[in-house]
Amino acid sequence: MHLPSKRPVFFDPNNKRWPKVKAGALLAAVLVSAVLVALVVSVLVNPALESLSLPAARFLPRPNHLSPPLPVETPAAADARLAKLKRTLAKEIKANRHSPPVARNAPTQPYATKAIGFFVNWDDASLSSLKKHIGNLDILIPEWLHMVDGDGTIREDSPDKTREALRFIRSSRPDLPIMPLVNNFIDMTWRGDLLARMAASSEARARVVAALLDFVRKNGFAGVSLDFEDVPPKAQKNYLRFVTELSTAFHNEKLAVSINVPAEDPAFPYRAIAEQVDQVIIMAYDEHWAAGKPGPIASLPWYVKALRPRMADIPAGKLVVALGSYAYDWPKGKPAEEVTFEEAVLLAKESESAISLDPVSLNPHFDYDDEKDVPHNVWLMDATTVLNAMASALPLQPAGFALWRLGGEDPSIWTFFGTDWAPGAEAAARLEEIRFDYDLDYEGQGEILRIAQTPHIGRRSITYDGKSRLITGESFEVYPSPYVIERHGFTPKTVALTFDDGPDPKYTPRILDILRQTGAAATFFVIGSNAERNPELLRRTYAEGHDIGNHTYTHPNIADVSTTQLTLEVSATQRLFESVLGHRTHLFRSPYGEDSEPETQDQVRPLEILGKQGYVFVGMNIDPNDWRQPGVDAIVEETVRQVEIGEGNIILLHDGGGDRAQTVAALPRIIEILRGKGYQFATVSELLGQTRDTIMPEAKNENPLVALGTRIGFFLLFAWSAGLQYLFILGTALGLGRLAILVTLAVAEKVRGRHKPVSDQADKLSVAVVVPAYNEEKVVLQTVQSLLACQHPAAFEIIVVDDGSSDNTYAVVREAFAGNALVTVVTQPNGGKPSALNHGIGRTKADIVVTLDADTVFTRDTIMRLVAWFADPKVGAVAGNAKVGNRINFLTRCQALEYVTSQNLDRRALTILDSVTVVPGAVGAWRREVVEAAGGFSAETLAEDADLTIRIQRMGFVVAYEDRAVALTEAPDTMRGFLRQRFRWMFGTLQVAWKHKDALFRPRYGLLGFCGLPNIWIYQIFFQLISPIMDLWLAYTCLVSAVMWMWHPASWDPDSFQKVVFYYALFMAADILAGLVAFFLERSEDKLLLVWLVPQRFFYRQLMYVVALQTFVASLRGREMGWAKLERKATVDSRRFTDT
């Protein structure tokens, strides 16, 4: 059983983490030291206090916080550069033509394996996706038409958007077949009633057919795609008649018809429909839908089950499988909101939730609480679900696959969709890199924008199962991030008048006159070519105190121009400002309002390009459309209405670009009305909280630290004291709660007597014992002899795997058992314990594999006690009862106590909860097929046994505990050996906990996620770190109380001292009681060990604290950890125990 090697958890091969940690620790130490010095200085030096006169505080960012400074240039050089820029700009405009994208991964497969994409007008990201991936598509189905009433009226959706998309398609892929989609989705509702009325009327049916034919003919499309949903059962017959009539009409003109149908609908006439149309597109998603209960959108079992019946009704040459890539976000008790893949991932990132792949449905999901503490359950379909779905459907030989929808999908889908791909590990590996290609993240309020953060690539780890040819595991290691855009400028009851497209010699002077008369300042976004013709108006605008912004030189649609032209447009205008005014500007507004409020990453391009040059984008949410000349009253009323409903702070008007008489007439009324309603007028620079000189810079070239340290120092002292106190309380509460629960559950487990008798069925199971051995020549023969002495089934074998020992382990076993057919000894190059175990398991076909360490001795009935549990097919593994067999000194006796009072008591309690977290390497049994399905023992952690135990339970199998299956193991008898072993155990446990953190508090994992794994995090990791604080706080309290009693006996209050001592004593008493109960449950144990119980508790707590700190540091260092082989001394006394 050979597994691909994986990087160990926490391993940092490039050693990047630890230097950063050390630097951070050093910086923290320096800062704390500085704070303490400042605190000491402030205490020793008496400050001279003066009367205070504090001005009103207002935060004004420095100019370089707003944007980088612009370069300095002389006026003569500026004029020369302006002339050159104008010439270059003219050439760029003439040469700039739309260049169609190269068809990346263009499909070369025949028509029978089509890649189809659904496109929508209502999301700009859909066009962005189409522009990126049009080369991957064989057919495009755009949602452009709706049937809006029962008489068959067809309405085109957003004709302007349709024309924009068509312009791109015709210039990029003129041969791409387009089949516009028509549906009955109106006002966010599927109108099955309207469909029924239309289908029942011959006139209405004819009207729909004629309208669709006309639309398709007029635009030269390949056909039409029907998506009529919620068809009433009584309307199915009429609907079939409609489909037949439409198909006949289209086929007569050699046009194609496709139809989108539900994956599962008993009333739907699949066979009859398939006979009429060219393609039947099975919508293989919405197993759980928005209005229903949360769950997988298309679990793989449901998907496969839904597809198979359709193959009987629909010829393979007509069947197209539609796959979804989107998400549903279900607030508790409410219908879900459909969100895109990128929106879902951003939700997970911002809520710090972990997306995990459900092992049953193979659909990713996560949970989070919103700002109102409402729980949300999110299920999504990403590239892994689409890849799995396509791989699962390939044996059915469908005609093709369709993707719902462009713009909402996981961009990684395009690494295989519409390409010459094949299922396999290579295709799966290409999904590991995650990008945000479409969505944006806005922060703040206002209409003035700048980029705060550019996108970052994320990564996910993919687990690909070659046997099933499916992705079975997915973990988002680093979330991707989109553009983060800051909003600025929101100011209540304040508006900024802005004017575009000037200066105009007729209208700009009149607007300037009105502004001067009313005392209102404004911001003018100037076209460079107009300013060049009217420089005096530009000077007057600036001289009268108004802001001036850049509106490009020739007023192009910046979404359609090249980066070079955009830069030249803005640079030429900027140089003009320098030449005429001697000033520059940080303000930019795009012509036509294009991309002033980007919705997709494509639209961010100008903002990113110009942002790097120091510009901020100024939007305009209040737009009365004065350029349409709707009338003076309409301009006034619409402006005031939008201001009052809170649309924004910035009003868009125009002083050039046409007849602006209505704007001029409306302006004084707008100012008067808004002032009467309490609004103030400001420039854009004032909205930003900046001076005009900051926004339009000239084109030329007592000690506060000690005070701050004092405040921080006192805060740290308070935090230290309070932190110790709260940690003491928390540690006490956690300890008492754990002991109460463990004891109760352990006793309940004993009372219930969950033992399995050895049955005939167990005797029929074949058993292999795998003994991994590395330098075990001193102990391995005793181990094998104890196994041969055990009761066992007829089909039984022992496999000793020598893991490249440097001693004579392999030779002594081979020589000692050369004539024994039950014993096989093999050797391999040193690869570690997981490798040796997997090697042994790979050499057997036994039903059950028993594993133990080479220094461990089994009692006579241990094997059969373990095997008895596997008569239940739900049992995947069984843990035995490990005991210390070499109780030769204080340290080993303390370990013997720990095995009984901690490890085995825990295992008893967790057994009743079906959440055992480790089948110990010293004594455990595993169902071989389950181990292989789980991927075997992994080298990702040092606790390979715990890792496999949890993986098996996550697969849905039970892990049992058999306390009568006793194994005697050799415990370290030196402090050095003990610390090395415990470090390996705790580090491995931390690795396992981190690896399986995605299972925490996940209902599908039952009590494992709610009890077993939290038990590891809280009690095996966190509690080990804070438990010594109980001793520290007790000592601190005693010391403080003693000092107070000695020096201030009159004011000494013993209350806090008494409380601490009481709770500490209560915890210790409960701990000792739990130990007594543990021994009561194991009656064969040596009761004399209890003598060491109290000192063991103090002794162990300090040692485990040291180990916990070492573990935490090691996880940060990121070094690869070895197995720290312990010296074997063959000190196990097998006579100490008899069969129990």
CA 375/CA 363 separation, integer angstroms: 20
Q: How far apart are CA 530 and CA 584, in angstroms?
A: 17
Residue 699's φ and ψ, nearest 5 degrees, are -80, 75
Q: Which residue has the tokens 């949300």?
A: 376
> Which entry of 441, 500, 501, 861 is annotated as an active-site residue?
500
> Do the beta carbons of residue 623 and residue 636 sit within 8 Å?
no
CA distances from 573 to 76, 106, 657, 791, 1005 (A): 16, 42, 17, 93, 63
Peptide bond into 315 cis (omega under 30): no
End-to-end CA distance of the chain: 35
- 81 and 545 Cβ atoms separated by less than 8 Å: no
Q: Select from 350, 355, 404 the least CA-distant residue to 380.
A: 355
Residue the block writes with tokens 């990453």: 601
Q: Please state, in angstroms and as integers, the Cα–Cα distance from residue 255 to each residue in 179, 183, 213, 217, 914, following that order.
A: 9, 19, 9, 9, 61
Q: If you ran DSSP here, which 8-state letter would residue 352 be given?
A: T
The strand pair at 848-851 and 924-927 is best described as antiparallel
Q: Which helix (H) or strand (E) holds 378?
A: strand 375-380
Whole-angstrom distance, CA of residue 644 vs CA of residue 639: 9
Burial 139-169 (b: 16+ CB within 10 A, else e): bbbbbbbbbeebebebeebeeebbeebbebb
Q: Long-range pairs for 629-634 at CB < 8 Å and ≥24 separation?
A: 629/659, 629/662, 630/662, 631/662, 632/662, 632/665, 632/666, 632/669
Q: Is 39 helix (H, G, I), strand (E, B) or coil?
A: helix
Per the structure block, which two tokens stand in for 248? 């006949």
1061: which strand partners?
none
In 10 A of CB 716, how many CB atoms? 15
Structure tokens that stand for 1017 in this block: 């995090």
> What is the token pair recorded at 1070?
């409960």
Q: Is 1119 exposed, middle or buried (0-12, 13-18, 19+ CB in 10 A)?
A: middle
Query: Which backbone phi and psi does 340 adopt, to 5 degrees?
Result: -75, 165
Q: What tokens were used for 440?
A: 């944006």
| 329 is an active site residue | no
Q: DSSP for 548-586?
A: EEE--SS---TTSS-HHHHHHHHHHHHHHHHHHHSB---
Catalytic residue among 654, 792, 839, 996: 654
Q: What gap in Å lies between CA 946 and CA 835, rounded to an integer? A: 15
- 500 annotated active-site: yes
Return d(Cα 937, Cα 834) in angstroms, integer: 5
Hey, which residues are catalytic here? 500, 654
